[in-house]
Structure 1
């Protein structure tokens, strides 16, 4: 068994309850660290809820919400598996990642490839459950997903490629409801790209010393001491783009309140951030799940509670 994963919570369910032979594979899929699945899922849920408001639906489609949840777990796991196969030599040189199953030898490359195929098939089953236009839209993301792990070798902004890959769900919810892509979805997608770009820059500060030694590039190294300013500017643009998307639908009171709560949370993140404290960076990065859930709650309530009833609420 390799060394423990630095950013996995001690005593997580994988360590406590999973059968020993399965644990390396569950860690390979990052099921001991669900934050990545949440961050991949939230743009899907936002898009689905925004489409529900635009379609005047009584609530976001529960079937789509469940399908996207399953798909997010499967595809996040597949992406992490692919990343770990390609990065196994680099991971052995970085303190935070040397305990990953492929890098440590707990899972062979052959076994990891087989596990990758299994997870991809689960993701494909979810994709094929969606309308035809959404299937085509989802397939269009595969190229970005495949090349992302290589980007840190050739560009100082790999977080931008991750942003495109992790934000694709902002198109998928809308595509599943309307079988087209319209301006609100594109604006939501653009905002999501910047959101991911910013929070993954925060995450990358955990590895900046090792990355500099190994020769891996990141926006943490690119921005350096200017990271808080860069993150603040990105977050401001995220809120502007989301607000423009909401106005183009248009949404109502609850979506506005959700966006306000989301914006306040992003402000708190910038104030809380300390790029010299890896533990603080991880804490701020993970808090984006809570920010995203606040925004989703506002959008969902906007479809559940018609605007015509808002003045009647006590």
Structure 2
């Protein structure tokens, strides 16, 4: 019974029952795999990036909760996290995070030397992000790099190099992360102001909603431009329309800046990435 209770705490720590976090990481990484391979990348790389995404996001939750434990107790949404309330020690949380990160690294070792080298940069950014919220006025930009780093790694795994295309896609994806993580920050704005946390929602003030919508637009425009010539134009248009329609729906959820609406918009953002992924897969399949 004690082992089952401990397992339940560990699953809560890594947000196992809230898959939206790793889905936000997964769809751009898989989309990049398809673009780099000009179609289906093979089952091996698909498995590596699928499992690696889940493992690294889970490891990131462990580090994040340890770094934020003194702040989280003052935020209603996060006060009951296992580390924050003392149900799991910081040593346990970091130990679990290390095990998960090592398991992810084991998957990377099955790829190539270029991907292995870039994985260290990805790990460094993931570790730095939780502390950026103390010093950077827009820490969502740091998260944007961390959550987009599967893109250059996907190109490295397929092509053994990271071309300019990968960095352009990363830039585009960074704007998407800015959009949805600002929505997330809008949920906790009042609490973050009280405890002195820095977020894009606080920095942007009343410009938060228009900037979020602008970031959605830039994200979709950059990815559409990269896909021109790679897949059929009508597929790009349909994909952009499907993702853009969701972004417009999110506007209706966040324009009032209510906690529930902003959190719902954030939580459903993975469908935006899924729409783009489906478009990329369909586009290459139709050209095969």
Q: Using structure 2 for the length normalisation, give the TM-score.
A: 0.94
Query: Could you tell me which residue of structure 2 aligns to residue 294 of structure 1?
Result: 275
Query: Could you tell me which residue of structure 1 aligns to residue 230 of structure 2?
Result: 250
Higher mean C-alpha displacement, 202-211 vs 139-148: 139-148
Is residue 52–residue 303 contact of structure 1 (8 Å, CA) maintained in 2? no
Query: Could you tell me which residue of structure 1 aligns to residue 11 of structure 2?
Result: 26
Higher mean C-alpha displacement, 102-111 vs 124-133: 124-133
The Cα of 1:272 is off from its aligned counterpart by 3.0
Q: Per-residue displacement from partner, 1:30-75 (whole Å, max 9, x unpaired)?
A: 112111111111111110111232xxx4x24232222111111111
Distance 1:65 1:267 in 2: 31
Distance 1:131 1:218 in 2: 37
Query: Could you tell me which residue of structure 2 aligns to residue 37 of structure 1?
Result: 22
The Cα of 1:258 is off from its aligned counterpart by 2.0
Q: Per-residue displacement from partner, 1:244-302 (whole Å, max 9, x unpaired)?
A: 2112x522243442233222222222233245311111111122111111111111112
Once the two structures are superposed, the pairs formed by residues 273-312 of structure 1 within 5 Å of their partners are: 273-306=254-287
Query: Could you tell me which residue of structure 1 aligns to residue 160 of structure 2?
Result: 179
The Cα of 1:183 is off from its aligned counterpart by 2.6
The Cα of 1:222 is off from its aligned counterpart by 1.1
Structure (1 or 2) with the greater helix fraction? 2
The Cα of 1:199 is off from its aligned counterpart by 0.6
Query: Could you tell me which residue of structure 2 aligns to residue 167 of structure 1?
Result: 148
Query: Could you tell me which residue of structure 2 aligns to residue 84 of structure 1?
Result: 65
Q: CA RMSD in A?
A: 1.7
Q: Per-residue displacement from partner, 1:207-263 (whole Å, max 9, x unpaired)?
A: 11111110001011111222111111111111221122112x522243442233222
State the aligned residue count: 285
Distance 1:277 1:174 in 2: 39
Task: Could you tell me which runs of 5 or more consecutive residues in structure 2 were left unpaired when the two chains were aligned.
Answer: none
Note if 1:154 corresponds to 2:139.
no
Q: Secondary structure at the match of 2:84?
A: helix
The Cα of 1:134 is off from its aligned counterpart by 1.5
Is residue 39–residue 288 contact of structure 1 (8 Å, CA) maintained in 2? yes
